[in-house]
Structure 1
Amino acid sequence: MLQNFLLNILLTFVWVALTGQLDYANFLFGYTMGFFILWMVNRSIRANTEYFYRVPKIFAFIFLFFYDLLKANFEVMKDVVTPNYNMKPGIVKYEMDAKTDFEITMLANMIALTPGTVVIDLSKDKKFMYIHVMYLTNKEEFKSTLSNRIERKLLEILR
Protein backbone atom coordinates (compact mmCIF):
# COMPACT_ATOMS: atom_id res chain seq x y z
CA MET A 1 0.00 0.00 0.00
CA LEU A 2 2.76 2.44 0.88
CA GLN A 3 4.50 1.69 -2.41
CA ASN A 4 1.38 2.60 -4.40
CA PHE A 5 0.91 5.79 -2.38
CA LEU A 6 4.50 6.90 -2.98
CA LEU A 7 4.21 6.10 -6.69
CA ASN A 8 1.01 8.11 -6.81
CA ILE A 9 2.70 11.10 -5.16
CA LEU A 10 5.62 10.77 -7.58
CA LEU A 11 3.25 10.77 -10.56
CA THR A 12 1.51 13.80 -9.08
CA PHE A 13 4.76 15.74 -8.85
CA VAL A 14 5.69 14.69 -12.38
CA TRP A 15 2.32 16.05 -13.54
CA VAL A 16 2.84 19.32 -11.65
CA ALA A 17 6.35 19.67 -13.09
CA LEU A 18 5.16 19.02 -16.63
CA THR A 19 2.31 21.52 -16.42
CA GLY A 20 4.32 24.11 -14.50
CA GLN A 21 1.39 25.04 -12.25
CA LEU A 22 1.59 24.36 -8.54
CA ASP A 23 -1.88 24.96 -7.19
CA TYR A 24 -4.44 22.85 -5.36
CA ALA A 25 -6.60 22.08 -8.36
CA ASN A 26 -3.67 20.97 -10.52
CA PHE A 27 -2.20 18.91 -7.67
CA LEU A 28 -5.55 17.20 -7.05
CA PHE A 29 -5.99 16.56 -10.77
CA GLY A 30 -2.47 15.08 -10.98
CA TYR A 31 -3.15 12.89 -7.93
CA THR A 32 -6.40 11.65 -9.48
CA MET A 33 -4.74 10.94 -12.82
CA GLY A 34 -1.89 9.09 -11.07
CA PHE A 35 -4.40 7.11 -9.03
CA PHE A 36 -6.23 5.91 -12.15
CA ILE A 37 -2.98 5.14 -13.99
CA LEU A 38 -1.73 3.02 -11.09
CA TRP A 39 -5.12 1.37 -10.76
CA MET A 40 -5.10 0.35 -14.42
CA VAL A 41 -1.51 -0.95 -14.23
CA ASN A 42 -2.08 -2.88 -10.99
CA ARG A 43 -5.35 -4.30 -12.28
CA SER A 44 -3.64 -5.75 -15.32
CA ILE A 45 -0.85 -7.40 -13.29
CA ARG A 46 -3.16 -8.39 -10.40
CA ALA A 47 -1.05 -6.68 -7.77
CA ASN A 48 -2.08 -5.62 -4.26
CA THR A 49 -5.27 -3.55 -4.60
CA GLU A 50 -5.84 -2.51 -0.98
CA TYR A 51 -4.66 1.04 -1.74
CA PHE A 52 -7.27 1.46 -4.47
CA TYR A 53 -10.11 0.57 -2.12
CA ARG A 54 -8.86 2.60 0.83
CA VAL A 55 -8.20 5.94 -0.92
CA PRO A 56 -11.83 6.47 -2.07
CA LYS A 57 -12.99 5.60 1.46
CA ILE A 58 -10.62 8.22 2.88
CA PHE A 59 -11.93 10.92 0.54
CA ALA A 60 -15.55 9.93 1.24
CA PHE A 61 -14.85 10.11 4.98
CA ILE A 62 -13.25 13.55 4.63
CA PHE A 63 -16.27 14.89 2.73
CA LEU A 64 -18.67 13.32 5.24
CA PHE A 65 -16.74 14.80 8.15
CA PHE A 66 -16.66 18.27 6.57
CA TYR A 67 -20.42 18.04 5.97
CA ASP A 68 -21.01 17.14 9.63
CA LEU A 69 -18.61 19.90 10.68
CA LEU A 70 -20.46 22.54 8.65
CA LYS A 71 -23.83 21.31 9.89
CA ALA A 72 -22.70 21.50 13.53
CA ASN A 73 -21.16 24.95 13.00
CA PHE A 74 -24.43 26.28 11.58
CA GLU A 75 -26.36 24.78 14.48
CA VAL A 76 -24.08 26.46 17.03
CA MET A 77 -24.08 29.73 15.04
CA LYS A 78 -27.89 29.73 14.89
CA ASP A 79 -28.05 29.28 18.65
CA VAL A 80 -25.58 32.10 19.25
CA VAL A 81 -27.24 34.57 16.86
CA THR A 82 -30.88 33.98 17.79
CA PRO A 83 -32.29 35.06 21.14
CA ASN A 84 -33.78 31.61 21.82
CA TYR A 85 -31.96 29.15 24.03
CA ASN A 86 -32.03 25.88 22.06
CA MET A 87 -29.34 23.91 23.89
CA LYS A 88 -30.22 20.56 25.43
CA PRO A 89 -26.90 19.48 26.95
CA GLY A 90 -26.28 15.94 28.04
CA ILE A 91 -23.64 13.32 28.66
CA VAL A 92 -23.62 10.09 26.67
CA LYS A 93 -21.88 6.86 27.63
CA TYR A 94 -20.81 5.46 24.27
CA GLU A 95 -19.56 1.89 23.80
CA MET A 96 -16.75 1.93 21.24
CA ASP A 97 -15.72 -0.64 18.66
CA ALA A 98 -12.28 1.01 18.50
CA LYS A 99 -9.70 -1.08 20.33
CA THR A 100 -6.20 0.33 19.83
CA ASP A 101 -4.98 3.57 21.34
CA PHE A 102 -4.58 5.10 17.87
CA GLU A 103 -8.16 4.23 16.87
CA ILE A 104 -9.52 5.63 20.13
CA THR A 105 -7.47 8.81 19.75
CA MET A 106 -8.62 9.36 16.17
CA LEU A 107 -12.26 8.81 17.16
CA ALA A 108 -11.91 11.21 20.08
CA ASN A 109 -10.38 13.81 17.78
CA MET A 110 -13.21 13.47 15.25
CA ILE A 111 -15.74 13.95 18.05
CA ALA A 112 -13.89 16.87 19.65
CA LEU A 113 -13.41 18.68 16.32
CA THR A 114 -17.15 18.81 15.78
CA PRO A 115 -18.65 21.88 17.50
CA GLY A 116 -21.07 21.02 20.29
CA THR A 117 -19.39 17.76 21.30
CA VAL A 118 -16.39 17.02 23.47
CA VAL A 119 -14.99 13.82 24.93
CA ILE A 120 -14.97 14.02 28.71
CA ASP A 121 -13.50 10.72 29.80
CA LEU A 122 -12.56 7.21 28.77
CA SER A 123 -13.27 4.17 30.91
CA LYS A 124 -10.31 2.35 32.42
CA ASP A 125 -10.93 -0.73 30.27
CA LYS A 126 -11.14 1.50 27.12
CA LYS A 127 -14.57 0.19 26.16
CA PHE A 128 -16.62 3.30 26.88
CA MET A 129 -16.22 6.95 26.01
CA TYR A 130 -18.12 9.66 27.86
CA ILE A 131 -19.16 12.48 25.53
CA HIS A 132 -20.71 15.84 26.39
CA VAL A 133 -23.22 16.84 23.71
CA MET A 134 -24.54 20.39 23.47
CA TYR A 135 -27.68 19.53 21.47
CA LEU A 136 -28.84 16.13 22.69
CA THR A 137 -32.43 15.33 21.75
CA ASN A 138 -32.19 11.52 21.70
CA LYS A 139 -29.30 9.56 23.22
CA GLU A 140 -29.90 6.41 21.20
CA GLU A 141 -30.08 8.35 17.95
CA PHE A 142 -26.82 10.13 18.79
CA LYS A 143 -25.12 6.80 19.59
CA SER A 144 -26.41 5.24 16.39
CA THR A 145 -25.28 8.19 14.28
CA LEU A 146 -21.86 8.23 15.91
CA SER A 147 -21.46 4.48 15.47
CA ASN A 148 -22.68 4.21 11.87
CA ARG A 149 -21.59 7.53 10.45
CA ILE A 150 -18.25 8.24 12.08
CA GLU A 151 -16.75 5.30 13.96
CA ARG A 152 -17.53 2.55 11.45
CA LYS A 153 -16.20 4.58 8.50
CA LEU A 154 -13.12 5.65 10.46
CA LEU A 155 -12.34 2.05 11.42
CA GLU A 156 -12.75 0.95 7.77
CA ILE A 157 -9.98 3.38 6.89
CA LEU A 158 -7.67 2.52 9.79
CA ARG A 159 -7.96 -1.26 9.73
Structure 2
Amino acid sequence: MKAFGWNMLLALAWVVLSGSYTISNLFAGMLMSYIVLAYALRDRPLFGAYFGKLPKLLNFILFFIWDLIKANARVAYDVLTPTHLMKPAVIAVPLDIQSDGGITMFSSLITVTPGSLALDVSTDKKVLYVHMMYFEDEQLHIAEFKRLEAMIIDLLG
Protein backbone atom coordinates (compact mmCIF):
# COMPACT_ATOMS: atom_id res chain seq x y z
CA MET A 1 0.00 0.00 0.00
CA LYS A 2 1.32 3.43 -0.85
CA ALA A 3 2.02 6.08 1.77
CA PHE A 4 -1.17 8.01 0.99
CA GLY A 5 -3.22 4.85 1.48
CA TRP A 6 -1.58 4.23 4.84
CA ASN A 7 -2.16 7.85 5.77
CA MET A 8 -5.87 7.61 4.95
CA LEU A 9 -6.21 4.21 6.66
CA LEU A 10 -4.67 5.54 9.88
CA ALA A 11 -6.79 8.71 9.69
CA LEU A 12 -9.97 6.68 9.28
CA ALA A 13 -8.90 4.44 12.18
CA TRP A 14 -8.45 7.61 14.25
CA VAL A 15 -11.96 8.78 13.37
CA VAL A 16 -13.51 5.42 14.23
CA LEU A 17 -11.60 4.99 17.49
CA SER A 18 -12.26 8.56 18.63
CA GLY A 19 -15.98 8.24 17.86
CA SER A 20 -16.24 11.75 16.43
CA TYR A 21 -17.24 11.55 12.77
CA THR A 22 -16.47 15.11 11.66
CA ILE A 23 -14.37 16.57 8.87
CA SER A 24 -12.18 18.41 11.38
CA ASN A 25 -11.49 15.16 13.24
CA LEU A 26 -10.64 13.42 9.96
CA PHE A 27 -8.27 16.29 9.10
CA ALA A 28 -6.65 16.03 12.54
CA GLY A 29 -6.26 12.27 12.04
CA MET A 30 -4.69 12.83 8.63
CA LEU A 31 -2.24 15.33 10.07
CA MET A 32 -1.28 13.10 12.99
CA SER A 33 -0.92 10.01 10.82
CA TYR A 34 1.16 12.00 8.32
CA ILE A 35 3.57 12.98 11.11
CA VAL A 36 3.72 9.42 12.47
CA LEU A 37 4.31 7.91 9.02
CA ALA A 38 6.92 10.53 8.13
CA TYR A 39 8.85 9.59 11.24
CA ALA A 40 8.30 5.82 10.99
CA LEU A 41 9.13 5.56 7.28
CA ARG A 42 11.91 8.15 7.14
CA ASP A 43 14.50 5.59 5.97
CA ARG A 44 12.41 4.09 3.18
CA PRO A 45 13.23 5.65 -0.21
CA LEU A 46 9.85 4.66 -1.68
CA PHE A 47 7.97 6.91 0.71
CA GLY A 48 10.30 9.93 0.50
CA ALA A 49 8.49 11.37 -2.51
CA TYR A 50 5.15 11.37 -0.70
CA PHE A 51 6.45 13.15 2.37
CA GLY A 52 8.33 15.70 0.27
CA LYS A 53 5.16 16.77 -1.55
CA LEU A 54 3.41 18.44 1.41
CA PRO A 55 5.95 21.29 1.76
CA LYS A 56 5.87 21.75 -2.03
CA LEU A 57 2.08 21.80 -2.03
CA LEU A 58 1.94 24.35 0.79
CA ASN A 59 4.52 26.52 -0.99
CA PHE A 60 2.50 26.31 -4.20
CA ILE A 61 -0.77 27.20 -2.45
CA LEU A 62 0.78 30.21 -0.72
CA PHE A 63 2.44 31.36 -3.95
CA PHE A 64 -0.80 31.08 -5.91
CA ILE A 65 -2.87 32.83 -3.23
CA TRP A 66 -0.38 35.72 -3.17
CA ASP A 67 -0.47 35.89 -6.99
CA LEU A 68 -4.28 35.88 -6.88
CA ILE A 69 -4.36 38.69 -4.31
CA LYS A 70 -2.00 40.82 -6.42
CA ALA A 71 -4.05 40.27 -9.58
CA ASN A 72 -7.33 41.05 -7.81
CA ALA A 73 -5.88 44.22 -6.30
CA ARG A 74 -4.69 45.37 -9.71
CA VAL A 75 -8.05 44.80 -11.38
CA ALA A 76 -9.92 46.40 -8.44
CA TYR A 77 -7.66 49.45 -8.59
CA ASP A 78 -8.29 49.81 -12.31
CA VAL A 79 -12.05 49.53 -11.81
CA LEU A 80 -12.14 52.04 -8.96
CA THR A 81 -9.94 54.73 -10.52
CA PRO A 82 -11.12 57.01 -13.32
CA THR A 83 -8.17 56.22 -15.61
CA HIS A 84 -7.91 52.87 -17.33
CA LEU A 85 -4.51 51.23 -17.17
CA MET A 86 -5.38 48.30 -19.41
CA LYS A 87 -3.03 47.40 -22.25
CA PRO A 88 -4.41 44.13 -23.63
CA ALA A 89 -2.18 41.74 -25.54
CA VAL A 90 -1.86 38.09 -26.42
CA ILE A 91 1.45 36.42 -25.62
CA ALA A 92 2.84 33.00 -26.46
CA VAL A 93 4.15 31.11 -23.44
CA PRO A 94 6.45 28.18 -24.29
CA LEU A 95 5.43 25.02 -22.45
CA ASP A 96 7.67 22.56 -20.64
CA ILE A 97 4.76 20.53 -19.26
CA GLN A 98 4.28 17.36 -21.30
CA SER A 99 1.08 15.84 -19.91
CA ASP A 100 -2.42 16.89 -20.89
CA GLY A 101 -3.44 17.03 -17.23
CA GLY A 102 -0.52 19.31 -16.41
CA ILE A 103 -1.33 21.63 -19.31
CA THR A 104 -4.98 21.71 -18.24
CA MET A 105 -4.03 22.52 -14.65
CA PHE A 106 -1.61 25.24 -15.77
CA SER A 107 -4.08 26.87 -18.14
CA SER A 108 -6.87 26.67 -15.55
CA LEU A 109 -4.74 28.39 -12.92
CA ILE A 110 -3.88 31.13 -15.42
CA THR A 111 -7.55 31.57 -16.28
CA VAL A 112 -8.80 31.88 -12.69
CA THR A 113 -6.30 34.68 -12.07
CA PRO A 114 -7.95 38.04 -12.89
CA GLY A 115 -6.37 39.84 -15.80
CA SER A 116 -5.22 36.76 -17.71
CA LEU A 117 -6.96 34.14 -19.80
CA ALA A 118 -5.54 31.01 -21.40
CA LEU A 119 -6.82 31.02 -24.96
CA ASP A 120 -5.37 28.05 -26.80
CA VAL A 121 -2.62 25.45 -26.88
CA SER A 122 -0.68 24.89 -30.08
CA THR A 123 -1.27 21.58 -31.85
CA ASP A 124 2.20 20.33 -30.90
CA LYS A 125 1.57 21.28 -27.22
CA LYS A 126 4.67 23.47 -27.09
CA VAL A 127 3.01 26.91 -26.75
CA LEU A 128 0.13 28.27 -24.67
CA TYR A 129 -1.47 31.48 -25.90
CA VAL A 130 -2.50 33.79 -23.06
CA HIS A 131 -4.52 37.01 -23.21
CA MET A 132 -3.18 39.62 -20.78
CA MET A 133 -5.29 42.55 -19.64
CA TYR A 134 -2.27 44.43 -18.29
CA PHE A 135 0.60 43.90 -20.69
CA GLU A 136 3.92 45.44 -19.71
CA ASP A 137 6.86 43.32 -20.75
CA GLU A 138 6.50 39.99 -22.53
CA GLN A 139 9.61 38.47 -20.95
CA LEU A 140 8.44 39.50 -17.47
CA HIS A 141 5.05 37.86 -17.96
CA ILE A 142 6.60 34.73 -19.45
CA ALA A 143 8.98 34.49 -16.48
CA GLU A 144 6.04 34.69 -14.05
CA PHE A 145 4.17 31.98 -15.96
CA LYS A 146 7.29 29.80 -16.14
CA ARG A 147 7.65 30.03 -12.36
CA LEU A 148 4.07 28.81 -11.94
CA GLU A 149 4.69 26.08 -14.52
CA ALA A 150 7.84 24.92 -12.72
CA MET A 151 5.92 24.59 -9.47
CA ILE A 152 3.23 22.53 -11.21
CA ILE A 153 5.85 20.27 -12.81
CA ASP A 154 7.48 19.82 -9.41
CA LEU A 155 4.15 18.89 -7.82
CA LEU A 156 3.12 16.48 -10.57
CA GLY A 157 6.54 14.90 -11.03
Q: Do the two structures share a fold, i.e. TM-score over 0.5?
A: yes
Q: 1:12 corresponds to which residue?
A: 11
Matched AA of 2:150: R
Structure 2 unpaired stretches of 5+:
none
Work out the CA distance in 2 between the residues paired with 1:138 and 1:77: 21
In structure 1, the partner of 2:52 is 53
Single out whichever of 135-144 and 80-89 deviates more from structure 2.
Answer: 80-89
Amino acid aligned to 1:83? P
Give the deviation of 1:153 after TM superposition: 0.5
The 5-angstrom pairing of residues 65-80 of structure 1 reads 65-80=64-79
How far has the Cα of 1:10 moved from its partner?
2.7
Structure 1 counterpart of 2:155: 157
Q: CA deviation at 1:105?
A: 1.0
* TM-score normalised by structure 2 residue count: 0.88
The letter of the residue matching 2:112 is L
Could you say what the CA RMSD is over the residues aligned between the two structures, in angstroms?
1.9
| Separation in structure 2 between the aligned mates of residue 77 and residue 130 of structure 1, nearest angstrom | 24
1:30 aligned partner = 29
Mapped partners of 2:114, 2:29: distance in 1: 33
Deviation at 1:86, TM superposition (A): 1.4
CA gap of 1:55–1:80, structure 2 versus 1, over 3 A, is: same
For 1:43, what is the secondary structure of its paired residue? coil
Question: Could you report, residue by residue, the CA deviation over 1:73-109 in whole angstroms, capped at 9, with x for unpaired residues?
Answer: 1211121122221112111111110112111111111
Corresponding residue for residue 130 of structure 2: 131
Structure 1: how far apart are the matches of 2:99 and 2:23?
A: 37
Deviations 1:36-94, CA, capped at 9 Å, x for gaps: 100111115x2511101122212221221122112211211121122221112111111
Q: Percent identity?
A: 34
Q: State the alpha-carbon separation in 2 of the partners of residues 109 and 51 from structure 1.
A: 24
The SS at the match of 2:41 is: helix
Instruction: Count matched residues.
Output: 155
How do 1:72-151 residues align onto structure 2 when only pairs under 5 Å count?
A: 72-148=71-147, 150-151=148-149
Structure 1 unaligned segments of length 5 or more: list them: none
User: Which stretch shifts more, 118-127 or 14-23?
Assistant: 14-23
Q: Mark the CA change 1:19 to 1:142 in structure 2 (over 3 Å): closer, same or farther.
A: farther
| Deviation at residue 23 of structure 1 after TM alignment | 4.6
Question: How far apart are the structure 2 equivalents of 1:88 and 1:35?
Answer: 47
1:134 Cα deviation from its structure 2 partner: 0.8
